[in-house]
A and B are shown apart, each in its own frame.
Chain A
Amino acid sequence: MFNFGILLPDLLSILTVVPRTIAMAVTIFVFATILGSVFTLIEHRRIPVLRELVIAYKVFFKGVPMVIAIFLAYFGLPPAFEFIASLVGLEINGYATPSWVLLIIALVGCLAAFQAEVIKGALNSFDTGQADAAHSLGYTNIQMSRRILLPQIVVAAIPDLATSLMVTMKALSLGFAISVVDIFAQAQLTAALNYYYLEAFVVAVVVYMTISYTITRGADMLERSLRVW
């Protein structure tokens, strides 16, 4: 029997972790996008050596399941932190690093590879004739990027960026593996206390859908208001 009465308490319990989940998702999204932009810039400018490193990085992180990246970070980063600290003569306890920090680092690592492709796609959609025209009129690269390139590729990237924000939010549920509690994990924990698993996950689905609908609508509105042409 589906217990309707449990839905409200479940919802209230799950809502307590929504701000944390969104905050982590946004943090990961921002850092992954910045890192991905740097990768794209390196590839676009064909900077030797760095470019090969970026390509290798992308092959690795696009191919490795995120849950493995999370475990690699969980077991690998604390000793790595201790080692790096010892190089500068510091003694720290790497194992005291909170799990959520390790989760954020792992997911930034994975998603930067995907963000790089999103940004590359937007960059490729820009027709370079406009850059030629700007240069012929004496624009510097920076002036051209600021006035012409960026306004166009930012708008072109909005739908894909919104999608990757949602992918990021969903990827946080993998944090359960290293005991970071997000929406999914909270549903699991709530149900573990009262055994109403179906109810808890139905509530979780509703919460996820509400957030993703809001992001999609927000992105659509943002795109419409920026795409003046």
Chain B
Amino acid sequence: MLELKNLKLSYGTSQILNGVNFSVKRGDVVSIIGPSGTGKTTLLKCINYLVKPTSGTIDFDQIRMDYARPDKATIQAIRLRTAMVFQQFNVFKNMTVLQNVMDPLVVVQRKSQDEAREIALMELDRVGLSAKKDQYPAQLSGGQLQRTGIARALAVRPDVMLFDEPTSSLDPELVGEVLKVIKDVTSSGITSILVTHEMQFAKNISNRIVFMDAGVVAAEGSPSEMFDAPANPRLAQFLSTELETQ
């Protein structure tokens, strides 16, 4: 369904992505794990072109693009079929929770206010935020902000959900409510790619794990292959330090 080939990206002299190959099948829930600074988030943001790789290609169903020759219409086509949940939530501060979820439907998808509201209310119910629909972001907790972000992403009915460290900037006691919502989303069958440091969670919800190290995919496999018997020594080392700190 989605395939990235030989993705490369550098900022100045530092090479962030070093020829990444990465693919996802429809219905997959793929978690990307790995040490900080190895390009996990960058890889995810290459998919919707929030960061600009210097070379590589993307194949997304019938959509195809060479990153060396980016094309506005193709980028837009990909963006219309994906939705991202951000580490910093990035909800629109000048809008209420309901408006945040409705706005892309009205502005981008040109749905009527009534139709947008109906969809938005349904998604807010799904993430348990119906009671907060008329609040502004400044009045919400981190967990509520992130659930707003998830509802906003779900409302556009994306083919692929991109989760960028969705719980990394949450207070520990708020992580649970967000993970619960993500678990609910991924188990509904929507194709999802998740960058995370929550190892146990990744193991539970994913059908495939990708381990990134130094700007490349260093290992990938099923959760049991990756967590229970890691063949890659870097992965084994990473997992042991991660599990220690958790």
Interfacial residues, chain A to chain B (CB-CB below 8 A): 127, 129-130, 132-139, 143, 147-148, 151-152, 155, 228-229
Contact = CB atoms under 8 A, between A and B. Distances in A.
Contacts of B80: 138
Contact of A130 (B83, B84, B90, B107): B90
Given A132-B50, A137-B108, A137-B152, A148 B88 contact: no
Interface in B75-96: 76, 79-80, 82-84, 86, 88-95
Contacts of B95: 148, 229
Contact of A129 (B86, B103, B107, B153): B86
A132 B103 CA distance: 15
Contacts of A151: 94
A205 to B, nearest CB: 39
Nearest 9 pairs between A and B by C-beta?
A133-B90, A229-B136, A129-B90, A137-B104, A136-B84, A138-B108, A151-B94, A138-B79, A138-B80
B93 A135 contact: no
Given A136-B48, A137-B83, A229 B93 contact: yes
B138 interface: yes
A137 B92 contact: no
Given A143-B107, A147-B103, A229-B136, A136 B79 contact: yes
Contacts of B138: 229
Q: How large is the interface on B (under 10, 10 to 19, 20 to 34, 35 or more residues)?
A: 20 to 34
A146 to B, nearest CB: 9
A53 B5 CA distance: 43
Interface of B: 48, 50, 76, 79-80, 82-84, 86, 88-95, 103-104, 107-108, 136-138, 149, 152-153, 156, 162
Nearest to B88: A129
A137 to B, nearest CB: 4
B104 A139 contact: yes
Contacts of A143: 107-108
A228 B94 contact: yes
Given A137-B104, A138-B76, A143-B108, A152 B84 contact: no
B50 A139 contact: no
A152 B83 contact: no
24 contacts: A129-B86, A129-B88, A129-B90, A130-B90, A130-B92, A132-B50, A132-B90, A133-B84, A133-B90, A133-B92, A135-B79, A136-B79, A136-B82, A137-B79, A137-B104, A137-B152, A138-B80, A139-B107, A139-B108, A147-B107, A148-B92, A228-B94, A229-B94, A229-B137
